[in-house]
Amino acid sequence: MIIDKPDKLTIIGAGLAGALLATLLARRGWQIDVYERRGDPRVQGYAGGRSINLALAERGLHALRSAGAADAVLDKAVMMRGRMVHFSDGAQQLQRYGRDDSEVIWSVSRGELNIVLLDAAEAAGAQLHFDRRLDDVDFDTRKAHFVDDRDGSRRAHAFTALLGADGAGSALRGQMAEHADLGERFESLGHSYKELEIPPTVDGDFSIEPNALHIWPRGSYMCIALPNDERTFTVTLFLPNEGDPSFATIRSGADARALFARDFADALPLIPALEHDYVHNPTGTLATLYLERWHLDARAVLLGDAAHAMVPFHGQGMNCAFEDCVALAGHLEAGADLAQAFAAFEAERRPNAQAIQAMALENYLEMRARVDDADYLLQRSLERQLAERHPQRFVPRYAMVTFRRMPYATAFERGNVQRELLVDATRGRESLDDIDWAWLDAEVERRLPTLPEET
């Protein structure tokens, strides 16, 4: 029975999660107002500010399908079959992500994706209000105040409940924290990033393999490159904030050129504007946001980066934010009232957000320091064999996160068991020739219950 359920909700932020949530809710008959700090990107071009392209995986795609937006997004996406590892000696190796082309990820432009979702939200009936930055909230009278940063004007908006999709620096979270202790903790990674660009060749082609996510792992730092549909690549250099090399020591364009000449020699000739972009593009910081409480009774709830910003090394921040949208829409439909729906959403999603946050942190070490190690490669090769021998039980952790939709917490727990098995089975070995398969098969069956089919 549905009781005490209003039909009007207010979303803060029309970024990736805000626009998708608006679509899902408006399609279910809710009256939705969305307030966004920036101008309308469809009118004035995407103002961006953060990563130019993103890896979209099954969780995000599934959410887009439920909003009827998947085809429009995939139309402009570039398929990535695996990691193309660029070794220090110039050799390259494609490490496939999945079994075949049914298990791939997609490089999508943040700006284009945002525009597809804004169109979908509007078509579903949501009211979008641009140039409206949430400034403060009076939770007692349920009035939110918004500022138009173009002229400083302020407007009040009466609300029933606020849904906070306003990103890692969430203003709504700041306002909620004045009413209740949210248990907020930001943990800086101590590494930052800089975006650079590989333009197309003179013939207008991609300059390197387009259907891969390129990685140049170099121990305590790395570069990655994702393809864009206009045949460029966005390169992201991740460096520590301190030490050598770091953003403290690589300061000028000439420093950046010298670093690339030494450590990323095959990438250097592909990035003609390296010096200019290194100096002029902003340095992005990376952190994990832990929050003990995501909602304020029936009045406000947080989702996406506003609730659980994470480091980008599993390519799951947006995918997780999109899963949040589907979960919140479901709880709002099923919940007896808003407070109950928000609490149920938080109870479902918080442990899963914590699990993917932990896996994203672990993946940084794997990407920058492990993908070219001999013991790592041996474990991956055993992992592939176990996945073939036990397809219903042993699914590589990357695949559980990227190609399946089981809860992240389940992927994390099973991944830990699988890692123990791989380490135990390969300890002291240089090849898989003398693996004790009878023991290993029995261990897999004992420790990893059969996974349910996903629909």
Ligand X SMILES: Cc1cc2nc3c(=O)[nH]c(=O)nc-3n(C[C@H](O)[C@H](O)[C@H](O)COP(=O)(O)OP(=O)(O)OC[C@H]3O[C@@H](n4cnc5c(N)ncnc54)[C@H](O)[C@@H]3O)c2cc1C
Instruction: Return residues touching ligand X (CB under 6 A).
Output: 12-18, 35-38, 50-51, 54-55, 133-134, 165-167, 171, 193, 236, 284, 304-306, 312, 315-319, 321
Q: Which of 298, 344, 332 is nearest to 22 (CA)?
A: 332
3-state secondary structure 307-331: HHCCCHHHCCHHHHHHHHHHHHHHH
Q: Which of 421, 419, 426, 397 is nearest to 409 (CA)?
A: 397
Q: For the beta carbon of residue 8, count every other beta carbon within 10 angstroms.
A: 12
User: CB-wise, 12 or 267, nearer to ligand X?
Assistant: 12
Q: Shortest gap between Cβ of 379 and ligand X (angstroms)?
A: 24
> Residue 106 contacts by C-beta under 8 Å, 6 or more apart in sequence?
55, 56, 57, 61, 73, 74, 77, 78, 79, 80
Q: Shortest gap between Cβ of 36 and ligand X (angstroms)?
A: 5
Q: Shortest gap between Cβ of 268 and ligand X (angstroms)?
A: 21
Q: Shortest gap between Cβ of 23 and ligand X (angstroms)?
A: 13
**Residue 216: strand pairing partners:** 223
Q: Shortest gap between Cβ of 102 and ligand X (angstroms)?
A: 20
Q: For the beta carbon of residue 109, count every other beta carbon within 10 angstroms.
A: 23
Dmax (CA) of the chain: 73
Phi/psi class of residue 72: alpha, beta or left (left: φ > 0; alpha: ψ in -120 to 50)? alpha
Q: For the beta carbon of residue 118, count every other beta carbon within 10 angstroms.
A: 25
User: CB-wise, 15 or 396, nearer to ligand X?
Assistant: 15
The residue at minimum Cβ distance from ligand X is 15
User: CB-wise, 18 or 98, nearer to ligand X?
Assistant: 18
Q: Shortest gap between Cβ of 313 and ligand X (angstroms)?
A: 9
DSSP 3-state of 167: coil
CB distance 108 to 77 below 8 Å: yes
User: CB-wise, 135 or 263, nearer to ligand X?
Assistant: 135
User: CB-wise, 169 or 391, nearer to ligand X?
Assistant: 169
User: CB-wise, 134 or 421, nearer to ligand X?
Assistant: 134
Q: Which of 324, 310, 317, 297 is nearest to 361 (CA)?
A: 310
User: CB-wise, 309 or 341, nearer to ligand X?
Assistant: 309
| Residues 315, 369: Cα–Cα separation, whole Å | 17
Q: Shortest gap between Cβ of 192 and ligand X (angstroms)?
A: 10
Q: Shortest gap between Cβ of 59 and ligand X (angstroms)?
A: 9
User: CB-wise, 52 or 298, nearer to ligand X?
Assistant: 52
